[in-house]
C-alpha cells in the first residue's frame, strides 16, 4: 500500500482494511514499514525499540520473530519504530538493497497460514518503499479527493514499469486505486473522482472512503474504526472496500496463493 504523497489516508486505509479483512475471516499480517509507526499505534501497539523489521532487513534475524498479535482475531502485526529511519542509509550500502524485504518475507510466506500480507509504506519512494514494491504481488494506491491527486500516480506507475523491465519484480500489478477523504457535499470531490475514473477506469474501486471526524479520531485511541465507532460511515465504507478487495484478488488473473498488497 503506497503513495509517495503524505496525508492521503494511506495508513488509515492500511489499518482499517486489515481489520475489515480479519473480520471477514481472512488471516492477515500487517507489516508497518513507515518509521512514523502510525499503523502500529493505530492498532494499539507500542512503538517499542527493537520491535520492527529493522534487523531482519539487514539480515541479522528472522522477520517472523517480530510478529505480534493484536486485539483482533486473525490479525497480526509487525510493528515499526523511529529507528527505521536509519535503515534506509544502512540498506543503501548493501548488495541487493531493494530485495531485502522479499528475502525476509519468504520464510513467512512459505510456512503459509495467512491469506493476505498488507505492507504499509512510508510516504516516499525511498528504499523502504522500493523494498515493499519489490516484494509485493499487488499495489494498492490510496488517493485523496483533491486536485494534485493524479500528480504522484505517474511516478508510482513509472516505478512499477521499471521493476518489470529490470526483472526485479515482474509479477507486481496495480490492483487498484482507492479514493479517500471524499466529501459528497463538495463539487470538488465529485470532480476529482470522475477525473481519476476517467484516467484509470475499472482500476478505481467503486467504494470511496468518506472524510469523517470519527475516522480521524480513531487512531488517537489506538483503535480501528470498527472498534471506535462500528456504525459510522467510515466503518461501513471500509467493510465494503474489504469485500471488493477480496473479489478482486479472487478474480485477478493468476493471482498468487499468498497475496501481498
Give residue-wise pLDDT tens across range 79-125.
Answer: 999 888 888 888 888 888 999 999 999 999 999 899 999 999 999 88
- Give the CA diameter of the chain: 52
Beta bridge partners of 30: 77, 118
CA distances from 202 to 102, 199, 254 (A): 29, 10, 18
Question: Is the pTM above the cut of 0.95?
Answer: no
In the chain the domains, ranked by start, together with CATH numbers, are 10-251 (3.40.50.300)
Helices (DSSP H) in the chain: which residue ranges? 10-23, 38-42, 54-57, 87-92, 100-111, 127-135, 153-165, 187-200, 213-217, 225-228, 233-251
- Please tell me the distance from the alpha carbon of residue 169 to that of residue 145, in angstroms, as a whole number: 30
pLDDT tens readout for residues 172-208: 999 999 999 998 888 888 888 998 899 899 999 999 9
What are the grid coordinates assigned to 122, written together? 512510508
Amino acid at each position: 500500500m503506497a503513495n509517495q504523497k503524505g496525508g492521503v489516508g494511506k495508513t488509515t486505509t492500511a489499518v482499517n482494511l486489515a481489520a475489515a479483512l480479519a473480520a471477514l475471516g481472512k488471516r492477515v499480517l500487517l507489516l508497518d514499514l513507515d518509521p512514523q509507526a502510525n499503523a502500529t499505534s493505530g492498532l494499539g501497539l507500542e512503538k517499542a525499540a527493537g520491535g520492527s523489521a529493522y534487523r531482519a532487513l539487514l539480515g541479522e534475524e528472522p522477520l517472523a520473530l517480530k510478529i505480534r498479535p493484536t486485539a483482533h482475531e486473525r490479525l497480526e502485526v509487525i510493528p515499526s519504530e523511529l529507528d527505521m529511519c536509519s535503515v534506509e542509509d544502512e540498506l543503501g550500502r548493501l548488495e541487493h538493497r531493494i530485495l531485502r524485504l522479499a528475502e525476509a518475507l519468504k520464510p513467512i510466506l512459505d510456512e503459509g497460514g495467512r491469506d493476505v500480507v498488507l505492507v504499509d509504506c512510508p510516504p516516499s519512494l525511498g528504499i523502504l518503499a522500493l523494498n515493499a514494491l519489490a516484494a509485493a504481488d499487488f499495489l494498492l494506491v490510496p488517493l485523496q479527493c483533491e486536485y494534485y491527486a493524479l500528480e504522484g500516480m505517474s511516478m508510482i506507475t513509472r516505478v512499477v514499469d521499471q521493476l518489470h523491465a529490470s526483472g526485479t519484480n515482474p509479477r507486481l500489478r496495480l490492483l487498484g486505486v482507492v479514493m479517500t477523504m471524499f466529501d459528497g457535499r463538495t463539487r470538488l470531490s465529485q470532480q476529482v473522482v470522475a477525473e481519476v475514473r476517467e484516467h484509470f477506469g475499472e482500476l478505481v474501486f467503486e467504494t470511496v472512503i468518506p472524510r469523517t471526524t470519527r475516522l480521524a479520531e480513531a487512531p488517537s485511541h489506538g483503535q480501528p474504526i470498527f472498534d471506535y465507532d462500528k456504525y459510522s460511515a467510515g466503518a461501513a465504507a471500509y467493510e465494503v472496500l474489504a469485500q471488493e478487495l477480496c473479489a478482486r484478488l479472487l478474480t485477478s488473473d493468476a493471482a498468487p496463493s499468498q497475496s501481498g498488497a
